[in-house]
Amino acid sequence: MPAPDRSAPDRSTADRSTADPDAGTDADTADAAAGSVAADTAGAIPAGPRKQVAALFAETVGGLPRAFWWLWTSTLVNRLGSFVVTFLALYLTVDRGYSASYAGLVASLFGLGAAVASVGAGVLTDRVGRRPTLLAAQLSTAVCTAVLGFTTGPVAIAVVAFLTGLSANASRPAVSAIIADTVPAEDRVRAFSLNYWAINIGFGVSAGVAGLIAVHGYLTLFLLDALSTLLCAVVVFVKVPETRPVTAPTAHPSGPTDATAPATATVTAPDGPAEPTGPRIGIGTVFRDRRFMTVVGLNLMLALVFQQGSTTLAIAMGRAGITTTQYGLVAGLNGLLIVLLQLPMTRLMRARSRTGLLVVGALLTGWGFGLSALAGSSAALFAVSVAVWTIGEIIGTPAMMSLIAELSPALARGRYQGVYSLSWSLASFLAPAAGGLLLQYAGGAAVWGACAACGTVAAAGFALLGRHPAGRAGA
């Protein structure tokens, strides 16, 4: 979620009121929980560092509303069972015996479904509500994932993969909108970092465990993935409230009933004040937001690179003689490093230039993947490559996520998050096919060289944007 100057102001002050009437009590509960956990660790830490650890922990996790933590829990549960996307390429090529180009095609259809869902689910998130959109997406994902594990035949697999991508990505705009709705603007970088942390805790564990499970059969991976998604939906149904802002017409200077007033709206949380947020925004307005769309375009370039990590990288490592278990461990290194380094590095990056962080993150991402060209048949060298681009991911992602939230007006958060998600969906559609074809007909050097080039171009784009800051967010 790139942007030149990440200090872009929040477009709505109304979102400082959470949609949970008990938000203040929830924050106190979170603070108390943080203090309790920190106290539990006291016996293992010397007195001096103990206070620093307790203060760091409380500062990192304290003060966030209860609804956020239940959403965080559901995300963790879901990601702990996210086996299929990581191992889909290996499943198709190793277990089913299809070609690398077919595996790339299936992954691209998965991405096409995700692209369709991005915009559609974004609109539904704003119109129908965050919670029903999220629940429908999770339940349909669980069904499609289980069905995919039993599906045979190239055409049937391709169709179900498309439907799985469609349902799986439909939850993204709703999740991001719930976080932006419930968490005050000043805490959003921290909240998105924590949510991203949960995603990668789950990914790191699931990638490592999935490699071991796959040795005994891939069907188990599909069924466990479906089960974790179903459990995620249960948590959301029971514990996560609807957070969509309440809207009402804004009074016009010439009188409260003036029908000629512009189509403006107000936003309020339950028991909270109503504040104007400007004209209502349709999906076309989002695509005409030039600065926002520039940010989305640059993110697309990096997303094209990142997608190679779950598709082309798996095929290249398999061709190099890397075992399924070794691939799972190497892939899990990405999540493990993020779990260990995301929060400390977020603190270190607070006073840094957002433009500088994006430039460095893009370069490390592109050239980290580029290092795969030197790995040969060494799992250790592939692991070094993963470590480099993971550092780039850690540096660039949290500020990007917060920026997209800041650029998104409260009444159009679903649409803005959906269009941002579209960049990832397009990448998941385009990158696997492009990577698979390049790998099959031009070799690994071409794939990893293209990754390095994309990272360099994205870094240059961030640098140029940083030299021309916007007068207002989203301008």
Tokens of 76: 């963790």
Residue 250 CA from chain centroid, whole number: 34
Note whether residue 353 is domain-resident. yes
Segment 392-434, tens digit of pLDDT: 998 888 778 777 777 777 777 788 888 888 888 788 778 877 8
Tokens of 231: 């459990």
Note whether residue 212 is domain-resident. yes
CA distance 403 to 424: 16
Note whether residue 88 is domain-resident. yes
Which pLDDT does position 454 carry in this prediction? Answer: 93
Note whether residue 218 is domain-resident. yes
CA distance 181 to 273: 14
Note whether residue 421 is domain-resident. yes
Note whether residue 39 is domain-resident. no
Residue 141 CA from chain centroid, whole number: 17
The residue type found at 451 is: C
Q: Which domain holds residue 148?
A: 59-245+283-466
Total domains present in the chain = 1
For the four alpha carbons of 202, 207, 213 and 216, in that order, the dihedral sign comes to positive
Which pLDDT does position 33 carry in this prediction? Answer: 43
Q: Which residues contact 59 (CB under 8 A, 6 or more apart)?
A: none
The whole model's pTM is what? Answer: 0.67
Segment 422-468, tens digit of pLDDT: 888 788 778 877 888 888 888 888 999 999 999 999 999 888 877 77
Note whether residue 23 is domain-resident. no
Note whether residue 211 is domain-resident. yes
**From its phi and psi, is residue 129 left (phi > 0), alpha (psi between -120 and 50) or beta?**
left
Residues belonging to the chain: 475
The residue type found at 380 is: A
Q: Which residues contact 464 (CB under 8 A, 6 or more apart)?
A: none
Segment 110-166, tens digit of pLDDT: 878 888 887 788 888 888 888 899 999 989 999 999 999 898 888 999 999 999 988
CATH of the domain at 432: 1.20.1250.20
- With contact defined as beta carbons under 8 Å apart, do 325 and 366 qualify? no
